[in-house]
Structure 1
C-alpha cells in the first residue's frame, strides 16, 4: 500500500472515530443547552477551555515534541532515550499538577466573573486537567511509535462517553448550572482511569524498543531546545479557540459565548480531519529525516499537504450544507452561529494551503524561529477581537479568528521558506517538476 493510500485509509478511520466521539460531545452540548440552559452550556464550555489550555502547558512542551522524539528513537532503536524522555514528561505533569491543585482556585478568582465561574468547579476541573495532560503526552508518543489509534481514541471516544455519563448523573440529581459540577466530577474521575490505562499501553509499546548501544546520557538540553517553542506552537495552534473563548469571556455574555463555543467545537471536528492526515504521516516524515532521506521527506510532506488541502475544501462545503441543521438542534437562538462557523472553516482552508511549516522548522533545528509568528497571531487576535466583537458580535469574533489564523499560517510559511528554504504550501506540490534536458548526441 502506498503512503498516499495509507494516509487516506488510516486518517479515515481516525477521523471516523473522531466524528463519532464529536457527535457524542455534540449531543451532550445539545442536551446541556436544552435541559440545563444556554447559561450552563456557556459555563461548561468556559471550564473545558481552561482545562485544555492549562493541560497542554503542564508537560512544559514535552507532549508537543513527543511524536517527534518517539519516532526518532524508534527509528534509531534508542529505547533508553525514549524512556528517559517519558520519565521527564510525566515528572513535569506531577510537579505542575501539584501547583494547579494548590494555587489554581485562588488565581482563577482574580479574573472577574469568568474566573469565578471556573473557580466554583475547580476541584473536578483540576483532576480533569491533570488527566488530560497525561493523555496529551501518551497520545503524542503513541502516534510517534506508530500506534495512532491507541493515541487518539482516549480523547476521541472515551472522553465524550464519560461526558454523556456525567450528563445522565446531572439530570438525575441537579438542575441548571449546578448540573455542570456533576458532569465534571464524573468526567474527571473516569478520565483519570482512562489516562492510566493509556499510560500502560505506552509503557508496553516502549518496552519493544531496544535500549540502544552507546547511549548513556539523556538528551535533556536537546529536549528543552525543542520543547519551549513547541509548547507555544501547540497552545496557539491546537488550542487557539480555547484561548479565544477565554478572551471573549470578557466581551460576551455566557449565552453568546455558548453559541461561539458550539461553532468552535464543530470547527475543531472539521480541523481534526485535516490534522489526522499529518498525524499519520509524521512518523514517516521524521524517520526519513532521521535517515537523511531528504527526497523522501519532501515527497511525503507534499503528498500529505495535497490530501489535507483537498479534504479541507470538501469539509468546508459539507459545513456550508449541514451546519443549519446542526444548529437547529440547540434551539432557535443558536442559528446565529451558521455564518460565523462558515467564516471559521475558511480559515481551515487557509491553514491547509500554507502547509505544516512548524514541522519543517523543527526538523531543520530552528524551532525558535516560529515564535514571532505565534506572537503576531495572538496579538492580531486580541486586537481584532477588540475592534470587531463590539460592533459585529459573533460574526466579528469569527472574522477576528480568521484574521489571526491567516497571520499565523502566512507568517509560518514565510519563515520556513526563508529559514529552511522549503516551500510546504500547496503551491510547491502542484508545481510541475522541471523537465530533464535531453542528452546531446555525440
Structure 2
C-alpha cells in the first residue's frame, strides 16, 4: 500500500506530485528559461517587477511632486508631461514595434547586414526626427504662443529639449526587448528617470524653499538626457557582442511601409489614452486636471501588466508567424491573454481597495478623484480581456486593420470627451476614455478573429 501511495505521489523524475510540486517545477522552468514559453514568462515576470517597482517609485514621485508643487502647479506640470508623452511617443513613427518584427526576421534568415543597418539606422533617424520636431515646435510656439495659456507656455518650450533623447529611448526600448534585455529596456526609463526627477525637484525645494512646474520641466530635461545617453552606451556594448560586424544594409522602403500603419496604430492609441487630459485643459482649471491626473497615475499598476506581457511576447508572435508554426502561435496567444487578464484583475481589486488612502497622500483635495477610479477601471479591464491583441495583429501583418480600429476608437473618444466633459467634468473624461477602450477591445477581438482566425479573449475555452 505504501508503495502504491509513493508511486501516486511521485512522477517519473521522483518529484512529488501536487500543487506545491507543480509550482516548484514551474518556478524552476521559468528561472532556467529553456523553452520559448518559459523565456517569455521569465521576461514578462522581470518586466512586471520592474514596472511594478517603477509604479511604486512613480507613485511616490507623483505624491511628492503634488505636495511640493501644489495642486495648481502640479496640474500645469501634468499637462506639460502628458504633451511630452504624446509627442515623444509619436516621434518613433512605429519603428520600435516594427523593429521587433524585422530584427526577428533578419536574425532568423541570417541577414546580418540588414540587421545591423536597421539597428543603427533606426536610432540615427530617431535623433534626427526628434531634433527637427524640437526646432519646429519652438518656432510654432513662438509664432502662435498667444493662443496658449501663458502658464503652460514655458513648460512646453522646455519639454521640446527632451524630444531627441526621448525618441531615441523609444526605439532602443524595442531593440532591447527583441533580445530579451528587459532590464536595459525598462530599468533606466522607469526606475532611474523618476528618481532623478525627484532628486532635482527635491534639491530645488531644499535650496530655494519652493518649486513649480518650471522646476519639474527642467528635471525632465536632466532625467531624460542622462538616461538616454547611458542607455545608448550600454545597448551598444551588448550589440557589439551579439550582432556580427558586417557592412550595414539599409532597406528604408520596406521599413517605412511597414512602420507607417503601426505608427498610425500607436498614434491613435497614444491620443486615445491621453486626450482626456488635453481636453480637460480647455474646460477645467489646473487644480482639477491635477486631481484627474492623480487618479490616472494611481491606476498605473494595472496598465503595467499588459505592458510587461507585451514586452516579453511581441517578437515571439513575429517569430512564429515567420516560421509558420500555427500551433505554437495559438497556444502562445492563449498564454499571453491569461498572463494579462488575471494579474490585471488582481491589481484592479487591490487598487480600488487602496485608492482613497493613496489619493489622500497626494493631498486632501485629491481624494475627490476616488470615484473616478471605478469608471476608469472598466476600460482597463476590457482591454485586459483581449490581452496584447494589437501586438498580435501588428506582428502578423494586420497593422492596417489595427490602425483603422484605433482610428475609430480615437474618433469616438474625442467626440465623447467634448460631449461629456462640459456636462460631467472629470467624470465625463473618465467615461469617455473607458467607453472608447471598451469599443476598441470589441473591435480588436473581431478583427483578430476575422483576419487571423485567432480567438483572442480570456473566455477561450481552450487550455
Q: Same fold (TM over 0.5)?
A: yes
How far apart in 1 are the matches of 2:197 and 2:427? Answer: 29
**Which 5+ residue runs of structure 1 have no aligned equivalent?**
433-442
1:40 CA drift (Å): 0.7
**1:105 pairs with 2:138:** yes
Cα–Cα, structure 1 residues 115 and 270, in superposed 2: closer, same or farther, change >3 Å?
A: farther
Partner residue of 1:339? 371
1:14 aligned residue: 47
The answer to whether the aligner puts 1:237 opposite 2:237 as a matched pair is no
State the alpha-carbon separation in 2 of the partners of residues 5 and 216 from structure 1. Answer: 33
Which residue is equivalent to 2:171? 137
Q: Following TM superposition, by how much is the alpha carbon of 1:117 offset from its aligned partner in structure 2, in angstroms?
A: 3.7
Distance 1:35 1:362 in 2: 42
Structure 1 partner of 2:96: 63
Counterpart check, 1:79 vs 2:97: no
CA offsets 1:245-289 (integer angstroms, 9 cap, x no match): 122211221111111111222333320122202211223332222
Post-superposition Cα deviations, 1:107-163, rounded to whole Å, max 9, x if no partner, equal 246477756444312453122222211111111110011111111111111111111
TM-score, normalization: structure 2?
A: 0.85
Secondary structure class of the residue paired with 1:427: coil
Superimposed CA distance per residue, residues 1-34 of structure 1 (whole angstroms, 9 cap, x where no aligned partner): 2666555544333222222223222222222322
RMSD: 2.5
Aligned twin of 1:263 = 295
SS in 2 for 1:37: helix
* Residues 112/79 of structure 1: CA separation in 2 closer, same or farther (3 Å cut): farther
- 2:405 matched residue in structure 1: 373
1:151 lines up with 2:194 in the alignment: no
For 1:175 and 1:105, locate their aligned partners in 2 and report how far apart those are by CA, in whole Å. Answer: 31
Match of 1:52 in 2: 85
* Residues 221-230 or 120-129, more deviating: 120-129
1:287/1:46 CA distance change after superposition, 3 Å: same
Match among 208, 228, 250 for residue 195 of structure 1: 228
Moved more, 102-111 or 50-59: 102-111
Native 8 Å contact 2:88 2:167 kept in 1: yes
Listed one character per residue, the Cα deviations across residues 175-200 of structure 1 (whole Å, up to 9, x for unaligned) are: 66x63223322331242122122112
Change over 3 Å in CA distance of 1:285–1:208 after alignment to 2: farther
Shift of 1:209: 4.2
User: Which residue does 1:405 correspond to in 2?
Assistant: 437
Shift of the 207–78 alpha-carbon distance from structure 1 to 2, 3 Å rule, reads farther
CA separation in 2, counterparts of 1:82 and 1:283?
Answer: 15
Moved more, 219-228 or 253-262: 219-228
Contact 1:61–1:228 (Cα < 8 Å) also in 2: yes
**1: CA distance between counterparts of 2:151 and 2:123?**
29
Give the Cα–Cα distance (whole angstroms) in 2 for the partners of residues 190 and 340 of structure 1: 30
Q: How many angstroms apart in 2 are the aligned matches of 1:383 and 1:158?
A: 37
1:93 CA displacement = 2.3
Distance 1:115 1:90 in 2: 35
Distance, in Å, in 1 between the alignment partners of 2:182 and 2:422 is 42
Q: Answer yes or no: is 1:279 the counterpart of 2:311.
A: yes
1:328 to 346, 349, 360: 360
Specify the alignment match of 1:427 in structure 2.
459
Secondary structure of 1:329's counterpart equals: helix
Question: How many Å separate the matches in 2 of 1:357 and 1:171?
Answer: 44
8 Å CA contact retained: 2:127, 2:167 = no
Distance 1:159 1:188 in 2: 10
How far apart, CA to CA, are the structure 2 residues paired with 1:396 and 1:194?
A: 37
Q: Secondary structure at the match of 2:92?
A: coil
Does 1:314 pair with 2:346? yes
Once residues 410 and 313 of structure 1 are traced to their aligned partners in structure 2, the CA distance between those partners, rounded to angstroms, is: 18
On the 8 A contact 1:60/1:231 being kept in 2, the answer is yes
Distance 1:158 1:86, change over 3 A: same
Distance in 1, matches of 2:354 and 2:39, equals: 28
Distance 1:236 1:112, change over 3 A: farther
* Contact 2:383 2:437 (8 Å CA) reproduced: yes
- After TM superposition, the runs of 4+ consecutive aligned structure 1 residues lying more than 6 A away are none
- Between 358-367 and 310-319, report the one with greater CA deviation: 358-367
Tell me the distance in 1 between the aligned counterparts of 2:168 and 2:248.
Answer: 26
The answer for unaligned runs of 5 or more in structure 2 is 1-28, 31-35
Superposed displacement of residue 348, structure 1:
1.6
Q: Which one has a bigger Cα radius of gyration? A: 2
Which deviates further from its counterpart, 32-41 or 95-104?
95-104
CA distance 1:266–1:79, shift in 2 (3 Å) = farther
Matched, 1:128 2:182: no
Counterparts of 1:147 and 1:115, CA distance in 2: 42
Q: Which residue of 2 aligns with 1:438?
A: none
Q: Is the 8 A contact 1:59 1:90 kept in 2?
A: no
Q: 1:228 aligns with which of 260, 283, 295?
A: 260
Match of 1:351 in 2: 383
